[in-house]
Amino acid sequence: MNYKKIFILSLMLCIGLTSKAQDFTRANFKIEDYKKGVQKIELTFNTFVIGINPDGEISSLEPLRRSRQNDWDDYEDNPVYGSKNLGSLNVIYYDNFNLDKSGKIKSIDGIPFDYYSSFDIHDKKGRLKSIGKTVIKYNNNFDIHEINGTLKSIGDIDFKYNNNFDIHELKGTLKSVGPIKITWYNTFDNEAQRGKIKSIKGNTRTMHVTK
């Protein structure tokens, strides 16, 4: 038996499975001076870029490749039932049989979307819960030191905030996003600058925090 060939085939299979563990290929998290939490999230998938606002709602949707002319400028996540093409994208919406999710995006090009519903008693109904294999979590009543409703994680990317233990920082400002570290002007600095972004370190081409 050729063990070298078996090893190579096994390695290729593992790489293939790993590449499917996360649906999005790039993530951008936007923050602002003097503001708490993330102001906007942009996740890039193979065929589209989706924007998510601080309330966990879809705020924008744009195809990466357009098979035909399309100049739609506005986007609204509201009752459009069934299937609809947006540019080159095939978008399917939840129907009236699911009252908690009715009119919301159900899938884009086969990638499923799910939302928190009445069954999720500790989380706000209507927020994005998952896109494909990527699960989105929010801080809730169990996270006693964090501001309720702020982002907790997207997939394996964790969000850490300045809280009551960080006595010199503005509570609720981001401390880190995954490996990316954020520092802010605090009580040791000029009072007028307290809460302004001081540094963002650790950005990569596939994951970055920007102003």
| Domain spans of the chain, in order of start | 23-68+78-210
Q: Is the pLDDT of residue 14 over 60?
A: no
What is the DSSP annotation of 126-176? TSEEEETTEEEEE--TT-TTS-TTSEEEETTEEEEE--TT-TTS-TT-EEE
pLDDT digits (tens, 9 = 90+) for 38-74: 999 999 999 999 999 999 999 999 998 654 444 444 4
Residue 72 has a pLDDT of 42
Residues in contact with 155: Cβ distance below 8 Å, sequence separation at least 6, in sequence order: 22, 24, 133, 134, 135
Taking the C-alpha atoms of residue 24 and residue 46, their distance in angstroms, rounded to an integer, is: 7
Mean pLDDT for the chain overall? 84
- Note the pTM of the prediction, 2 decimals: 0.80
Residues in a beta bridge with 161: 174
Tell me which residue has tokens 């030191």. Answer: 145
Alpha-carbon Rg for the chain, nearest whole angstrom, is: 20
pLDDT band at 83 (very low <50, low <70, confident <90, very high): low
Residue 88 has a pLDDT of 79
Q: Is the pLDDT of residue 119 over 70?
A: yes
Residue 64 has a pLDDT of 84
